[in-house]
């Protein structure tokens, strides 16, 4: 079961504020502050975190790490522990495993270090460069800060990372490798060199108005919009949660993961279908028992069509009755954190009994015939929900949660 939850997003760091902004259709996509006005970059907007809100969030846990990626990881882990009623001051050891996901790692710092070396030479590199650039640093620093003494490691699977982290934590608890685990994800790729590289890849939306630029499944979609953020979850056995007397947010009942093994960026529906089917089989569910789907929905021309085909293939005619939404039009694509934040959205839907509508879905692409929630929030209390994530590299992940009732 999941007993702790946290988010760090362009729509807020506190769960109540985040949820209210989702329901209202607010958009967190704005001009990237560090991109100069005269920059030749064709795309200059993303789902950027509010600097004042970030500073307040870090101060809450007395976090002073110099690197943004690590800051987000530390916050996500700490806030999830706090939400689960666990200590965050490091005064006691916690036996929790930690599975922490990131897509870019500390790429902003590694880019900076490379620039320093080429400009100023070897002796100007910081002695701590290796330690700050290690890809496993977010997990290890978080374990040290909160004294998490179980297994501690990083997973990286592009935009499926957050879901894979939760899935791996679930497997570790379900099969007795741990009684408690923390799954978290944190990512930012908005330092100028990384953001420029994404511009060069040619997948970013060039729609000039930030609030209209991300349009998953819409006929006029023009590509994805980057973002930054984090999410955290505490996963534990039912017996552990009941012994602690804490609120249970949901039960994890199904997990499936596959790899396309075909192309580094072009998705393959067949293996996406297998991931969903594996999750359904683990949960012991028929497709028609799923009451809501949180779609991946990147907003790219190809991926949205492939995902829609995947859902129709996996669910058959029952897909016509299942509400489908996606939040990337409000938050941007958070890369290694996107699946985690969208999973957090799914948990909040289970808790509050409302499904936020899809923003910017003015004219659904007829090649994506799904039951999208549009216009106003939909009152619904599904028992089972699906979160799917399909990533660059061909990594596919499907997670099924059950609304908890004692």
Q: Which are the catalytic amino acids?
A: 159, 296, 333
Cα(199)–Cα(193) distance, integer angstroms:
10
Angle, CA of 188, 104 and 142, to the nearest 5°: 75
Collect all residues with Cβ–Cβ distance below 8 Å to 32 and sequence separation of at least 6.
44, 45, 46, 48, 190, 195
Strand 384-390 vs strand 395-403: parallel, antiparallel, or unpaired?
antiparallel
Strand ranges of the sheet holding 384-390, from the earlier edge strand across to the other edge: 152-155, 97-101, 180-187, 229-236, 2-8, 250-259, 395-403, 384-390, 290-294, 323-325, 371-372
Collect all residues with Cβ–Cβ distance below 8 Å to 373 and sequence separation of at least 6.
323, 324, 325, 355, 356, 357, 358
């Amino acid at each position: 079961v999941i007993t702790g939850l946290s988010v760090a997003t362009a729509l807020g760091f506190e769960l109540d504020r985040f949820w209210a902004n989702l329901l209202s259709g607010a958009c967190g996509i704005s001009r990237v502050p560090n991109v100069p006005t005269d920059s030749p970059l064709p795309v200059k907007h993303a789902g950027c975190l509010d600097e004042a809100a970030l500073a307040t969030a870090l101060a809450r846990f007395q976090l002073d790490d110099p690197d943004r990626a690590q800051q987000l990881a530390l916050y996500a882990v700490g806030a999830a522990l706090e939400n689960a009623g666990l200590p965050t001051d490091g005064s006691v050891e916690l036996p929790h495993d930690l599975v922490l996901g990131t897509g870019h790692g500390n790429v902003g710092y590694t880019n900076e270090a490379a620039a320093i070396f080429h400009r100023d030479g070897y002796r100007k590199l910081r002695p701590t460069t290796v330690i700050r650039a290690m890809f496993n640093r977010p997990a290890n620093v978080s374990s040290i800060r909160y004294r998490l003494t179980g297994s501690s490691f990083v997973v990286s699977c592009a935009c499926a990372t957050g879901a894979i982290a939760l899935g791996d934590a679930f497997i570790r608890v379900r099969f007795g490798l741990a009684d408690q685990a923390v799954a978290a994800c944190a990512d930012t790729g908005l330092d100028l060199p990384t953001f420029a590289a994404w511009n060069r890849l040619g997948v970013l939306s060039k729609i000039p108005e930030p609030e209209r630029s991300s349009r998953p499944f819409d006929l006029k979609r023009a590509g994805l919009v980057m973002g930054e953020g984090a999410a955290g979850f505490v996963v534990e056995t039912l017996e552990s949660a009941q012994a602690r007397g804490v609120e249970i947010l949901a039960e994890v009942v199904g997990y499936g993961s596959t790899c396309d093994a075909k192309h580094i960026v072009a998705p393959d529906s067949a293996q996406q279908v297998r991931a969903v089917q594996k999750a359904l089989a683990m949960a012991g569910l028929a497709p028609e028992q799923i009451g809501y789907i949180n779609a991946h929905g990147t907003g790219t021309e190809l991926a949205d069509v492939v995902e829609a085909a995947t859902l129709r293939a996996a669910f058959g005619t029952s897909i016509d009755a299942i509400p489908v939404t996606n939040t990337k039009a409000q938050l941007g694509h958070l890369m290694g954190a996107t699946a985690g934040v969208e999973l957090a959205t799914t948990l909040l839907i289970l808790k509050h009994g409302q499904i936020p509508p899809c923003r910017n879905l003015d004219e659904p692409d007829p090649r994506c015939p799904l039951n999208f929630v549009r216009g106003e929030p939909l009152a619904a209390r599904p028992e089972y929900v699906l979160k799917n994530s399909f990533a660059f590299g061909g990594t596919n992940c499907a997670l099924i949660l059950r609304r908890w009732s004692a």
